[in-house]
Structure 1
Amino acid sequence: MTRRHDPHRPLWLCRACGGPWPCGTARLTLLAEYGDSRVTLCVYLAGMLYTAVEDLCRLAPQDAPKPAALHERFLGWAAPRRPRREGGGPG
């Protein structure tokens, strides 16, 4: 039986592989589950980020991950990407 790559709270590690959740496999699964709805995926992940911050700060306030690292971990990879303009200039 294959284990799902779900978060193990309050540590926010993957139940299947032990990596920081969302691990690579969880990210691929989430992208497949949410299909073309990146905004909905980001809303879901923002809620998970909120809960993770509460859990991680309660567990170890002095050692909690930095906000920028948590943002990248939970949302940075999933944010809808704007298409690049030809010529490489800003969007």
Structure 2
Amino acid sequence: MTQRHAPLKPLWVCTADLLNWPCENAKAELVADYEHDRRHLAVDLAALMRQATDDLTRLYSEPPDPAEMHIRFLGWLRSVRNV
């Protein structure tokens, strides 16, 4: 399924609303897309977090804060059931 709220790389903002990706709508789309394979959602988001960290480190003089990146990409998964 194609995400409407996809990441615009290398900036890692949402293509639909220009908020930091994953925005709330992207999270809902991801949960729906991974409905039957939620464990892989965490694995895929971890890989995307690594890509985003690498991209943002190249773009800006200050690298992104690792704790903030973790919260942004993985921290919200705790509130999703069956992940």
Q: Which of the five TM-score ranges fits, normalised by the shorter chain?
A: 0.7 to 0.9
Does structure 2 conserve the Cα–Cα contact (< 8 Å) formed by 1:6 and 1:15? yes
Q: How high is the sequence identity, in percent, across the aligned residues?
A: 44
Rg bigger for which structure?
Answer: 1
- Mapped pair 1:72 → 2:42: no
Aligned to 2:25: 25
Map 1:1-91 onto structure 2 (within 5 A).
4-62=4-62, 64-79=63-78
- Structure 2 unmatched ranges of 5 or more: none
CA contact (8 A) 1:10 1:56 kept: yes
Task: Report which of the two has the higher share of helix.
Answer: 2
Which whole-Å CA distance do the structure 1 matches of 2:53 and 2:64 have between them? Answer: 9
Using the TM superposition, name which of 4-13 and 73-82 deviates more.
73-82
CA RMSD of aligned residues (A): 1.9
Contact 1:22–1:73 (CA<8 Å) still a contact in 2? yes
Q: Which runs of 5+ in 1 are unaligned?
A: 83-91
Gap change, CA 1:32 and 1:81, over 3 Å in 2: closer
Q: How many residues align?
A: 79
Provide the C-alpha distance between the structure 2 equivalents of 1:23 and 1:81, rounded to a whole number of angstroms. 18
The TM-score with structure 2 as length reference comes to: 0.85
TM-score calculated relative to the size of structure 1: 0.78
- Relative contact order higher in (CA < 8 Å, ≥ 6 apart): 2
